[in-house]
Amino acid sequence: MEEYFFVAVSNKENLELCLEWAMAGFPDTINGVWAYCDIKPGDFLTFLYGAKAYNLYRVIRKEAVKNPQVLPPPWKPIFFQTSGKVCHFPFRLELEPLRRLEEPLIRHEFSYIAENLLQRGGYWKTHFQADQTTLQQVSGMGEVWREEVRRREGISPDLFEPRFVRSRKKVEGAYPLREVIVQSVLRHHLLRREVLKKLLNLLGVEGVGELEVLGEKALSEGYVDIFIKESYPKGKKVMIAIEVKLGSAERSDIEQLERYVEELGEECKAGVLLAERVPKHVSPPERIHLIPYSFAIDLSSPHTFEELLKGVKLEL
């Protein structure tokens, strides 16, 4: 299933460049590489700036470039005052414009995204995943795109593939394996029909329609890392809240997940805690399930996102 993402832009100048070149760019940060790995070709995308949604696109291709400062679009780099670091935009998505629109997020059609933003208190994240209902509604807004967009010509970018490593020391050319990266790996793993089916069987969830496996869902008590729900519920909703832990699960993680399940209500059929190590002598509360995951690769060596995805395994 093609997914739908809103991409937050840091300033008006960069937004105009995104629109002119039909391209999204993510900074050289953990959040930036997370967004780049999370979004795949074929997905849909809308830009987010100043509490407004801009246009609807389909992702054509993605590339990570070694020389972002000399390649168009000429996005203004981000300067971090505390560290003095300057971040360019090496992670790029080339887009196909589908619809032209400029709509305020207060429209009820954007409620899924707006709720996430309000609960979080702003857009410190680079990307937000919307549901299929939002995609359907946005597909009827504005007008069909008919104009040409600028494309990069005559320049061959020097490409690389981001790699991740679990190490206390900085490894040249690799990003630290943070929890958000593992969260994205496990979300993509659950997008596989056979894996999701095994999970539903384990949880005793039956008779559901088409499901979508979404990224972070904000709640008043915090946010769940992965949120599974029916795409088109009829009469009743089915929801599953999933928390991801890099390392060992603690009792406090179980208690937090229980609060999320209670907030979502009786239609939340289960809360799942995915961790590398789960406590063996703890009886989880009703509707809470503890499931270990592992990687069949050496995480002390750098690996691509695809290698992590191929190597991950849930004990279902």
Residue where a domain stops, chosen among 160, 185, 200: 160
User: Residue 191: what residue type?
Assistant: L
Closest Cα partner for 135 from 72, 267, 18, 45? 45
Give tens-digit pLDDT for 84-107. Answer: 788 899 999 999 999 999 999 999
Residue 290 resides in a domain: yes
Closest Cα partner for 90 from 159, 39, 40? 159
Do 198 and 115 lie in a common domain? Answer: no
Q: Angle at CA 26, nearest 5°, toward 24 and 30?
A: 155
Do 11 and 149 lie in a common domain? Answer: yes
Do 142 and 11 lie in a common domain? Answer: yes
**Peptide bond before 285: cis, by omega within 30 degrees of 0?**
no
- In terms of pLDDT, which residue wins out, 50 or 121? 50
Distances (CA, A) of 34 to 81, 134, 215, 233: 22, 22, 11, 30
Q: What is the CATH number for 244?
A: 3.40.1350
Do 236 and 144 lie in a common domain? Answer: no
Do 8 and 155 lie in a common domain? Answer: yes
pLDDT tier, 56 (very low <50, low <70, confident <90, very high otherwise): very high
Q: How far apart are CA 179 and CA 225, in angstroms?
A: 10
Q: How far apart are CA 93 and CA 41, in angstroms?
A: 8
Q: What is the CATH number for 61?
A: 3.10.590.10
Do 100 and 29 lie in a common domain? Answer: yes
Distances (CA, A) of 294 to 157, 167, 183, 277, 299: 36, 17, 13, 9, 10
φ, ψ at 211 (rounded to 5°) = -110, 150
Do 249 and 108 lie in a common domain? Answer: no
Say which residue the tokens 């509604």 belong to.
Answer: 137
User: Residue 99: what residue type?
Assistant: R
pLDDT tier, 120 (very low <50, low <70, confident <90, very high otherwise): low
Say which residue the tokens 């972070």 belong to.
Answer: 216
Give tens-digit pLDDT for 17-35. Answer: 999 999 999 999 999 999 9
Quote the mean pLDDT of the chain: 93
Residue 291 resides in a domain: yes
Give tens-digit pLDDT for 216-251. Answer: 999 988 899 999 999 999 888 999 999 999 999 999
Residue 194 resides in a domain: yes
Cβ(269)–Cβ(203) below 8 Å = yes
**156-170 average pLDDT score:** 90
Give me the number of domains the chain comprises: 2
In which domain, by residue range, is 19 found?
4-160
Do 146 and 194 lie in a common domain? Answer: no
Q: Distance from CA of residue 274 to its chain's centroid?
A: 17
Residue where a domain stops, chosen among 160, 184, 201: 160
Residue where a domain stops, chosen among 128, 160, 192: 160
Residue 90 resides in a domain: yes
Residue 252 pLDDT > 80: yes
Cβ(200)–Cβ(206) below 8 Å = yes
Residue 112 resides in a domain: yes
Do 184 and 308 lie in a common domain? Answer: yes
φ, ψ at 43 (rounded to 5°) = -70, 165
pLDDT tier, 122 (very low <50, low <70, confident <90, very high otherwise): low
Do 153 and 246 lie in a common domain? Answer: no
Cβ(215)–Cβ(187) below 8 Å = yes
Residue 188 resides in a domain: yes
The single-letter DSSP state of residue 284 is P
The whole-number pLDDT of residue 282 equals 80
**63-75 average pLDDT score:** 93
Residue 169 resides in a domain: no
Give tens-digit pLDDT for 169-196. Answer: 878 889 999 999 999 999 999 999 999 9
Do 133 and 186 lie in a common domain? Answer: no
Find the range with the poorest average confidence among 114-123, 138-147, 264-273. 114-123
Residue 170 resides in a domain: no
Do 29 and 152 lie in a common domain? Answer: yes
Neighbours of 160 (CB within 10 A): 12
Residue 257 pLDDT > 60: yes
pTM beyond cutoff 0.85: yes
